[in-house]
Chain A
Amino acid sequence: MTLEIVSPGLSTTIQDLGRPGYFHLGIPEGGAMDRLSLRAANLLVGNPEDAACLEAVFMGPEIRFGADMVVAVAGATMPMTLDGAAVDGWTSFEVKKGQTLKFGFLTEGARLYIAVAGGIDTPPDLGSRATYPIGALGGIEGRAVAAGDVLPVGQGTGKAGRTVAPELRRMPGRPAELRVLPGLYWHRITEAAQESFFADEWTVAAEADRMGYRFKGGRPLEFVEREQPFGAGADPSNIVDGCYSYGSIQVPGGTEPIVLHRDAVSGGGYFTLGAVISADMDLIGQLQPNTPVRFVRVDMEEALAARRDQVAMLDKIRGALA
């Protein structure tokens, strides 16, 4: 079975839950920016949660199906039509061979997850089909899908008419609140900067992609004076090269925070003031440019509680679709 990409949208990539285990070699985990939505889309069509889907950002692709299959779209809100008839998001539906799925304008969120029963069946690289364009890994020849691509689809068992209840569809609020755990280099900024970082409202900058999300509009962060360490750059935001974690927040020059996301580099010479907690990383994947954002300080206990809440939500989705 196959599906054909008639038009690719802005940037549509094949994604699954990524390839953990290679970050120490500089190869990011990658995978869906919003993992919960990808899992939900897969569960809706009866797939294993880590099956490969299409992740489309800001703009939907146009897809023609080469066989009868069951499809579900989760994540961002975007009206869609199958051969001109409206179909609902977060709900599985049947498509017939030759039918075409099209999308309208994005209304909420940022990324769609389009799952087909059986999953996209392109060859995995390092255990994952997730597209990592910089490393030319996964996807189709390591790139985003293009018009005319015909993607192989596995054998599925999904059923139409399954749905995820609205209260289990997690999307960022407005302003979006991203919880942050201060980290190793927190001491590098002044107390005033530590306060203003959390007090100010930031907005998502245009430079926001799978590698990182940049924020602007808050007051610049002032640094504690220091003697430049051997091996560190001259800017006060420089450190002797260190490791970066997923979600870590670097602020080059103290001006615009960048939250490193799924396709991020694994280390470098900028201090990181802390990290967005794992439970809120999916929310970043659903942020549009110019969205207002507040960073909310949490401690480790609160971060772990939030992670448990996120797992509980996933368990509810699993239970409802079992």
Chain B
Amino acid sequence: MAEIQAPVPGTFYHRPAPDQDPYKAAGDAVAAGETIGLVEVMKTFIEVKAEAAGTFKGYVADNESPVTAGAVLAEIDA
């Protein structure tokens, strides 16, 4: 299992926009380098990417929750 961590502190979003679906749902395939969420900080949205390919297990951090750098955001079964 691989953990995806927040690159920067900020607010974590599961969705690319409020009216769209989350990037991933449990069971979805994830490619290496694929975006699974966004962290907003300093008026900037930073894409959170999976380092390795696998099957999406689920989000660990809630949508729109505050996160610190290094916090686990989601898990992937490699």
Using CB atoms and an 8 Å cutoff, list the residues of chain A in contact with chain B. 10-11, 57-59, 104-107, 206-209, 288-290
Contacts and interface: CB of A to CB of B under 8 A. Distances in A.
B5 A105 contact: yes
Nearest to B45: A206
Given A10-B46, A289-B11, A206 B41 contact: yes
Interface string B38-52: 001111101000000
Contacts of B43: 206-207, 209
A57 B42 contact: yes
Contacts, number: 55
27 contacts: A10-B8, A10-B41, A10-B44, A11-B42, A11-B44, A57-B42, A58-B8, A58-B9, A104-B70, A105-B6, A106-B9, A106-B68, A107-B69, A107-B70, A206-B40, A206-B43, A208-B42, A288-B9, A288-B68, A288-B69, A289-B9, A289-B10, A289-B11, A289-B66, A290-B9, A290-B66, A290-B68
- Measured as residues with beta carbon below 8 angstroms from the partner, the interface class of chain B is 10 to 19
Interface in B11-29: 11
A289 B41 contact: yes
B58 interface: no
A206 B8 contact: no
A171 to B, nearest CB: 15
B7 interface: yes
Contacts of A104: 70
Nearest to B5: A105
A105 B11 CA distance: 16
Contacts of A11: 42, 44
A302 B10 CA distance: 34
Given A288-B9, A289-B10, A290-B9, A105 B46 contact: no
B44 A59 contact: no
A31 B53 CA distance: 42
B47 to A, nearest CB: 12
A234 B42 CA distance: 29
Contacts of B7: 10, 59, 105
A264 to B, nearest CB: 15
A57 B68 CA distance: 13
Contacts of B8: 10, 58-59, 106
A6 to B, nearest CB: 16
Given A10-B7, A206-B41, A288-B68, 5 more contacts: A58-B69, A59-B8, A107-B69, A107-B70, A209-B42
Nearest to B44: A10
Nearest to B42: A209
Nearest to A290: B66
A107 B42 CA distance: 18
A178 B41 CA distance: 21
A58 B41 contact: yes
Contact of B10 (A105, A206, A209): A206
A105 B8 CA distance: 8
Contacts of B44: 10-11
Contacts of A57: 42
